[in-house]
């Protein structure tokens, strides 16, 4: 199987397959005499594992760990779970940040009549010296992303 077929079968683009090989996430494949990379069904299976991990937002570094745990039949499921739950925490933090932004912006936009007149509370708020009003329901004290 050439790289294009492996790409189609796995859902990982040929570009990314070469990239993953270059950074050592997947081993170097066999080559034909002409230098074409050759892939087996097993390789495609690994690529699909990688793609599914990416779909869940894991970084390439974490995927390297997951792949090595996957290959290790002596692994402790605890190690996998730790990686997964650490990632969930990261996702949840990002979600909270984005929710805070969206919520603040929605409230600013609500107070802007959005017509042809120039008066605009959104701009006023951006130009203000006061801290941005945060409108999350629960926890509002995570400070925006700036570093004070």
Binding-site ranges for DNA (CB under 7 A): 2-5, 13-16, 18-19, 31-37, 54, 59-61, 147
Is the CB of residue 122 less than 8 Å from the CB of residue 112? yes
CB of 128 to its own copies, least distance (A): 8
With CB under 5 to 8 Å by kind, the binding choice for 49 among its own copies, DNA, none is its own copies
> Environment class of residue 103 by beta-carbon count within 10 Å: exposed (0-12), middle (13-18) or buried (19+)?
middle
Instruction: Give the x/- contact pattern for its own copies in 80-99, rule: CB under 8 A.
Output: xxx-xx-xx--xx-xxx-xx
- The radius of gyration of the chain's CA atoms, rounded to the nearest angstrom, is 24
Exactly one of 4, 54, 60, 65 binds its own copies (CB under 8 A); which one?
54
First vs last C-alpha separation in the chain: 54
Scan residues 107-126 and list those touching its own copies (CB under 8 A).
108-109, 112-120, 122-123, 125-126
Retrieve residue 101's tokens. Answer: 């932004």
Q: Cα dist. 87→6, 84, 92 in Å?
A: 28, 5, 9
Alpha-carbon span 47 to 92, nearest angstrom: 27
Retrieve residue 80's tokens. Answer: 């996998």
Nearer to its own copies, 21 or 65 (CB): 65
Binding site for its own copies (CB under 8 A): 11, 45, 48-49, 51-57, 66, 69-70, 72-78, 80-82, 84-85, 87-88, 91-92, 94-96, 98-99, 101-102, 104-106, 108-109, 112-120, 122-123, 125-127, 129, 132, 137-138, 144-148
């Amino acid at each position: 199987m050439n790289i294009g077929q492996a790409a189609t079968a796995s859902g990982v683009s040929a570009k990314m397959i070469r990239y993953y090989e270059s950074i050592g996430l997947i081993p170097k494949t066999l080559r034909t005499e002409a230098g074409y990379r050759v892939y087996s069904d097993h390789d495609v299976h690994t690529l699909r594992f990688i793609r599914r991990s990416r779909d869940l937002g894991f970084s390439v570094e974490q995927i390297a760990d997951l792949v090595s745990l996957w290959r290790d039949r002596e692994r402790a499921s605890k190690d996998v779970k730790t990686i997964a739950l650490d990632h969930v925490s990261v996702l949840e933090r990002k979600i909270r940040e984005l929710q805070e932004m969206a919520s603040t912006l929605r409230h600013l936009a609500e107070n802007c009549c959005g017509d042809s007149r120039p008066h605009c509370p959104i701009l006023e708020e951006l130009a203000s010296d006061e801290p941005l009003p945060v409108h999350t329901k629960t926890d509002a004290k995570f400070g925006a992303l700036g570093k004070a």
